[in-house]
Chains A and B, each alone.
Chain A
Amino acid sequence: TLTLTSLIILTLPIITTLLQNNKTNCFLYITKTAVTYAFAISLIPTLLFIQSNQEAYISNWHWMTIHTLKLSMSFKLDFFSLTFMPIALFITWSIMEFSLWYMHSDPHINRFFKYLLLFLITMLILVSANNLLQLFMGWEGVGIMSFLLISWWHGRTDANTAALQAMLYNRIGDMGFIMMMAWFTIHLNSWEFQQIFLTNPKNTTLPLLGLLLASAGKSAQFGLHPWLPSAMEGPTPVSALLHSSTMVMAGVFTLIRFYPLMENNLTIQTSTLCLGAITTLFTAICALTQNDIKKIIALSTSSQLGLMMVTIGINQPHLAFIHMCTHAFFKAMLFLSSGSIIHNLNNEQDIRKMGGLYKTMPITSTAIIIGSLALTGMPFLTGFYSKDPIIETANMSYINTWALLITLIAVSMTASYSTRIIFFALLGQPRYPSLTQINENNPYLVNPIKRLILGSIFMGFLISMNTIPHTTPQMTMPPHLKFMALAVTLLGFTVATELNNMTHNLMFKQPSRMHTFSTMLGYYPTTIHRILPYLSLTMSQNLATTIMDSIWLEKMIPKNLTTMQKTAASLVSNQKGLMKLYSLSFLLSITLGLLIAL
């Protein structure tokens, strides 16, 4: 029964794609309802799993056998995939409904829905894969769909470059992934997870490094992060689906999948920890001074991903997974609300030109406030059930103190930039033009947001109550450590509120160096994007023209040969004609010759 239901889930959206009746208006509704039913059906295996704690592996179609490597289509239905699939389907359902309102005036809306559906299918393939080949298929699939969706408005050059940037950074990560696959083929002769975890190899640093690189590329960790803020060029539903809940989770998800291997390898844990800590702090700093609302939320996503990496780094993959699931809800909701604001203010994305929406858009502002509170870990909302255990465990574990401190600073910054959004977008006097068309009455807009609000409030409790902890959580700790997360968040809130209130009263000086650093995203894109291609192109030009053509082909042999011969000829035939010199040479040669001969 389990097998059948899960397969049906996957095939429902696929059938919709295959029908391909793009021309009709009903295609949109068919798609949406297909996803709704898929969500409903996917709850059945999940509930069965919660009740019985049985995991299942379905391996049905033998694809091919290359030498000794057997490749087949197999699905792994364990805690991670069975919990994530309903959540992904729920969020996709909400987003599709939202995009019925958001993309209403777009002529190619059918194609948009098809792309969203394809994305969903590849994401589900990735999540439910039992062998690395299938996972890689899903991995590449989400990469390609993200490329197509970011460049949706392809007439705009910024959108095209952003899509290309996303693709390139993902590709760098893919190199790591392929290295991992190659290592597993060579050493373990299998791409199945069961075999990998059973044999438990000893020297796993190299493949796990590859995996880390792949996750860094997919989940926008520091070093491969610029594509995520740039990806906000795509429509808001795209940002909501891909870049808040699902695709950027793919990297962290794969890392979580490999936790049996990572438990044994301390090097990888430390590097994951440090990478995550750097990411979360850096992106939080950058988010503090951005002016585009979508960029703030995108950098906030990046920061939360860094936090998930930190959690994996302290060897708590299940906590990271729970945080991933809860984060999907409120981040998607934040994106949808920002989409609603943007559309209602006639495509205005700069928060310096919003304000006073508290009264005019009540549902949206409620959503933003609840989402921000959940994000920062307000007690007993969703984020609390995932974020607080992370901070507590980090405080109590044998960990790199610097990473811990950075993570705490980043948590306080989370509160700060959330306050910034609320302050500038919702509070105060309106700063947008007076002729407004603010209208929240469309059910397609309101219903998804309402559903996600409910999810943001209750899902944390539900998920954490229904999961069996794999490691014993620390129950007793000194009070100052227990309150650390809350205190840090409150500190962030108050500092941000004070600073933002100051903007009403005082006139500011020129932006300081730190401010520019933060606004320019840490100068990372400006430096790296030009330098690396420039270096490789000039090197190859030098190699091709100077070294190859002019030196090796022209100068090295032909010209050198002629000069050598001319010099030698003039040297040899230049005789003075004086007999005494000949006699002298005779004497010297005879002496040398006798010396050689004896």
Chain B
Amino acid sequence: MNPLALSLILTTLLAGTLITMMSSHWLTAWMGLEMNMLTMIPILMKTTNPRSTEAATKYFMTQAMASMMLMMALTINLMYSGQWSITKMTNPVASNMALMALMTKLGSAPFHFWVPEVTQGVELTPGMILLTWQKLAPLSLLYQMATYTNTNLIYLSGLLSILIGGWGGLNQTQLRKILAYSSISHMGWMLIILPFNPTLTLLNLTIYIMLTLSIFMILTNTFTTSMSSLTLMWNKTPAMTIMLMTTLLSLGGLPPLSGFMPKWLMIHELTKNNSIIMPLTMAIMALLNMYFYMRLIYYSSLTILPSTNNMKMTWRFTNTKHTMTLPTLITLSNMLLPLTPMISMLE
């Protein structure tokens, strides 16, 4: 893409999210969300095949619907309370409508249908931006307005997200769709803890972003988008294969790795508030996620599947992709667990 256009687009993307995160007036927040959405479309359409166009169209329509709903919620709020402050949406209709609009923007159930298709339709890099950067703005709004919403809706949506994220990913062979369902599931976890301890939502978001970025960058570096290409990764970059394995385990929430930290703290927080069945169900459903990560690990690192002899010489080619931030990210996503006491810093 033209470097000038690319820089304009990327700065607009940055600006949109920052405007939303820094605003205290609903209208500017909404404006930031719109900017985000509009500038995401050319990013999604970086490659010009019809599939990407279709994905971009679907993304636009879904996000536009969500933004309309959000605007309606804002006007209802204005009608009943006469003010535009984000943290004081006391009217239940307005706050719940806004909640559901924001949930659509995040991609949590029952509004999750666009996530796998859009993620699958585009390249790995736009997909990465879609699943990581685009979560920041809506979550920051949710963080501020969640106190006046109906918590039953939040729990319902969260549990449903975890279930759908788990079950949906079981039937997939394309890596982008798997990561999309994983994102739905993680959104579920983040939503559930929102009424109890919003700090943990942000912690989960942070760690999730680190992990997803690592995985996407590993996949981009090795040009793998489906499970069949995963099986050939051992020859190209054995080190990255192993790193993929540990990062995937961390994404699933396995203890000595850093992905365990948000899950552990969330379950701790939930049990402190006397709810036992919900964290039990959540933890058991997270096992579904773990199953298909294990399947990926099995095919990439644990076994060597039959391949032609040509494929066994790919290590001879040098890597043309930038791997600049990858080591940092991988280290962070695997080894962060001992630093758990430091989350008091986030308070």
Contacts and interface: CB of A to CB of B under 8 A. Distances in A.
Interface of A: 565-566, 568-573, 575, 577, 579, 581-583, 585-586, 589-590, 593-594, 596-598
Contact of B117 (A569, A577, A594): A577
Contacts of B153: 593, 596-597
B100 interface: yes
B113 A589 contact: no
Contact of A585 (B96, B113, B171): B113
Interface string B1-39: 000000000000000000000000000000000000000
A575 B93 contact: no
Nearest to A569: B170
27 contacts: A565-B167, A568-B163, A568-B167, A569-B167, A569-B171, A570-B171, A572-B163, A572-B164, A572-B168, A572-B171, A573-B116, A573-B167, A573-B168, A573-B171, A581-B113, A586-B104, A586-B111, A590-B100, A593-B96, A594-B97, A594-B100, A596-B150, A596-B156, A597-B92, A597-B96, A597-B150, A598-B93
Contacts of B168: 569, 572-573
Contacts of A573: 116, 167-172, 181
Given A569-B170, A573-B171, A579 B97 contact: no
Contacts of B61: 579, 583
A577 B69 CA distance: 22
B173 to A, nearest CB: 11
A565 B156 CA distance: 20
Interface residues of B, number: 33
Interface of B: 57-58, 61-62, 65, 69, 92-93, 96-97, 100, 104, 110-111, 113-114, 116-117, 149-150, 152-153, 156, 163-164, 167-172, 181, 288
A575 B117 contact: yes
B119 to A, nearest CB: 13
B116 A597 contact: no
Given A571-B167, A597-B92, 15 more contacts: A569-B167, A569-B168, A572-B163, A573-B171, A575-B117, A586-B62, A586-B111, A589-B111, A590-B69, A590-B97, A594-B97, A596-B150, A596-B153, A597-B149, A597-B150
A566 B171 CA distance: 8
Nearest to A574: B171
Contact of B62 (A569, A572, A582, A590): A582
A598 B110 contact: no
Contacts of A565: 167, 170, 288
Contacts of B169: 573
Contacts of B149: 597
B110 A589 contact: yes
B107 to A, nearest CB: 12
Contacts of A577: 117
State the 8 A-B residue pairs at the shortest beta-carbon distance, nearest first.
A569-B170, A597-B150, A597-B96, A572-B167, A573-B171, A572-B168, A568-B167, A569-B171
A594 B100 CA distance: 9
B145 to A, nearest CB: 14
Contacts of A575: 113, 116-117
Contact of A586 (B65, B171, B172): B65
A225 B58 CA distance: 87
Contact of B100 (A568, A572, A593, A598): A593
A565 B284 CA distance: 13
B172 A594 contact: no
A579 B104 CA distance: 14
A585 B181 CA distance: 18
A586 B63 CA distance: 11
Given A597-B96, A597-B152, A585 B110 contact: yes
Given A572-B168, A573-B167, A590-B97, A598 B69 contact: no
A577 B169 CA distance: 17
Contacts of B170: 565-566, 569, 573
B201 to A, nearest CB: 20
A598 B152 CA distance: 11
Contacts of B152: 596-597
Nearest to A564: B167
A129 to B, nearest CB: 62
Nearest to B101: A590
By CB atoms of chain B within 10 A, which of A570, A571, A577, A583 has the most?
A: A577
Nearest to B65: A586
A594 B113 contact: no
* Most chain A C-beta atoms within 10 Å of own C-beta, residue among B65, B149, B163, B288: B65
Contacts of B93: 594, 597-598
Contacts of B111: 585-586, 589
A598 B97 CA distance: 11
Nearest to A575: B113
A572 to B, nearest CB: 4
B61 to A, nearest CB: 6
Nearest to A577: B117
A571 B168 CA distance: 8
Contacts of A568: 163, 167
A596 B156 CA distance: 11
A404 to B, nearest CB: 70
Contacts of B181: 573
Contacts of B150: 596-597
A550 to B, nearest CB: 26
Nearest to A587: B65
Nearest to B61: A579
B265 to A, nearest CB: 28
A594 B149 CA distance: 11
A513 B96 CA distance: 86
